[in-house]
A and B are shown apart, each in its own frame.
Chain A
Amino acid sequence: MAEVKTATTTAVKEPLFGKKERKLITDPLYDNNPITIQVLGICSALAVTSLVWPSLVISVAVVFVCGFASLFTSLLRNRIPKSIRMIVQLVIIATLVTVVELTLKYLSYPVYKQLSVYIGLIITNCIVMGRLEAFAMANRPWRSFLDGIGNGLGYGAILLLVALFRELFGKGSLFAGSPLGEWKIIGPNADYTINTLAESGIGTWFSWYSNNNLMVLPAAAMFLIGIFIWIQRSWTPKLVDVS
C-alpha cells in the first residue's frame, strides 16, 4: 500500500503536462530563446539557413538530439563521475547525431550532401551541451526531455524565420529542393499555382522584384538575427543587455 501511495503523491507533484512542464516548452520560444537570449548554438546552422527546407531538416534533427540527449543524460546523471562528464555527454550526443546522419543519408541523399558537415556539427551545438550541463544533470528525465524539446523548438523557430526571409528575398522562392516542390513566389518567374482562383495572383503583384544576392550570403543571417534581437529587446525591455 505504501508504494501505491508514494506513486500517487509523485504523480500529484509532477503532472505530465502541468503548468511548469508547459513553461519548460514555451519559455525557450521567446523569453529564454537559445539563440537570441542565451546566445547558444549559432555556430552549426547559420550557414544552412539560405534555404527553408534544409533548415527545417536541421531543426527537426536538433529537436530530436536535444530532447533525447537530455533524457539519457538525466537518466544517467547520478552515475556519471563529475571529472569525465563532458566526455560522457559528448558520447551520448555523438551517438544520437550518428543516428540522425545515417537516417538522413538513407532518406534524402541530396539534402544530406547539401548539409555536409553541418549535421555532424550538431554535436558541438552549444544548445545541446548547454542544456545538458544546466538542466539535465540536475533534473528528472521527463522534465529534462521537455526542456530539451523546448530548446530545440526555440532554436528551430529562429532558424526557420531567418531561412524564410533569406530564401524569399534571396531566391524569390520557398521550399526549394523539398518534396513539396519549389514555390516561386515573387519575381518575374513566379508561378501562379498558389492563387489559381484569382485572375492576378500574388505572382503578378511582385513580378518587378529581382533577387537580392545579399540575402544568399551567410552575412545576411547575421544581420537578420541582429535585427530580430533588436526587435525582441525593444518589445520586451527587461531582456536588454545591461553590460
Chain B
Amino acid sequence: MDFFNIFIKAAFIDNLVLAYFLGMCSYLAVSKTVKTAFGLGLAVIFVLGITMPINWLINTYLLDGAINGLDLTFLRLILFIAVIASMVQLVEMVIEKISPALYNSLGIFLPLITVNCAILGGSLFMVAREYNFTESLAFGLGGGFGWFLAIIAIAAIREKIKYSDVPPALRGLGMAFILTGLMGIAFMSLMGIDPAALTGTK
C-alpha cells in the first residue's frame, strides 16, 4: 500500500480514538475548549510522526534478531516507552527554544503526551501489522491527524453543549462519554472502505 492510502486509512477508517479508543484520557480531559484541543492535537501529530519511524528502526535493527540472531523482543515495551518519553522531552526543549509562545500555550499538555496511549498504541500496532518504514511514517502522521480531528470535533461539540439543558448528573463527563460513543458510531460508517480500491492503485 502506498503512503497516501495508509494515511487516509489511519486518519479516518482506523481512527485511533473513535475506532480503537486510544488516547482517551487526554482526549476527555483536554477537550473543554477548541483552543487547547488544537494545540494538543498538533503536538500529538508531531510526536506520533517522529516516534513511529524511530521505533520502527529500533524494532527492525535492534530487537528482531538483527544482532547475532538474538531475539530481544521482550525489551520492546521498555525501549518503545523510553523512546517516546525522551522524544517528548526533546520536543519540549526544542519548542521552548524556538517558540516560547507556543510552549506556553501548550503548558502541561506536552509532557502528558508521554502517557497518551495513542502514541504507544500506534507503535504496537505498527509491529503487529508489520508495516515497513514509509508505511509506519504514514501510519504515524495519519493516526496523529485522526486524533487531532477527533479532539477538535468533541471540543467543538462540548463548547456548544454548555448552552443545552443536560440533566445535572450527566453534565460534563457523562455527556462526553455518550457523545464519543455517538461519534464512534458515525465513524463506523467509514469502516470497510478500501482507499486503495478508491484511488485505483490496487
Contacts and interface: CB of A to CB of B under 8 A. Distances in A.
B115 A129 contact: yes
Interface residues of B, number: 49
B188 A217 contact: yes
B24 A46 contact: yes
B25 A94 contact: no
A98 interface: yes
Interface in A31-90: 36, 39-44, 46-47, 86-87, 90
A226 B114 contact: no
A42 B128 contact: no
A35 to B, nearest CB: 10
A218 B181 CA distance: 8
Interface stretch (A8-16, A119-127, A194-202): A119-127
Contact of B184 (A90, A98, A125, A217): A217
B168 A240 contact: yes
A229 interface: yes
Contact of B22 (A36, A95, A121): A121
The interface residues of chain A, by DSSP majority, are classed as: helix
Contacts of B182: 219
B85 interface: yes
A91 B114 CA distance: 13
A237 B85 CA distance: 39
Nearest to B122: A117
A206 interface: no
Interface in B70-90: 74-78, 81-82, 85-86
Nearest to B79: A94
Interface in B1-40: 19-25, 28-29, 32
Interface of A: 36, 39-44, 46-47, 86-87, 90-91, 93-95, 97-98, 101-102, 116-117, 120-121, 123-126, 129, 217-223, 225-227, 229-231, 233-234, 237, 240-241, 243
Given A120-B120, A230-B174, 8 more contacts: A87-B82, A101-B77, A102-B74, A124-B121, A220-B181, A223-B177, A233-B174, A234-B169
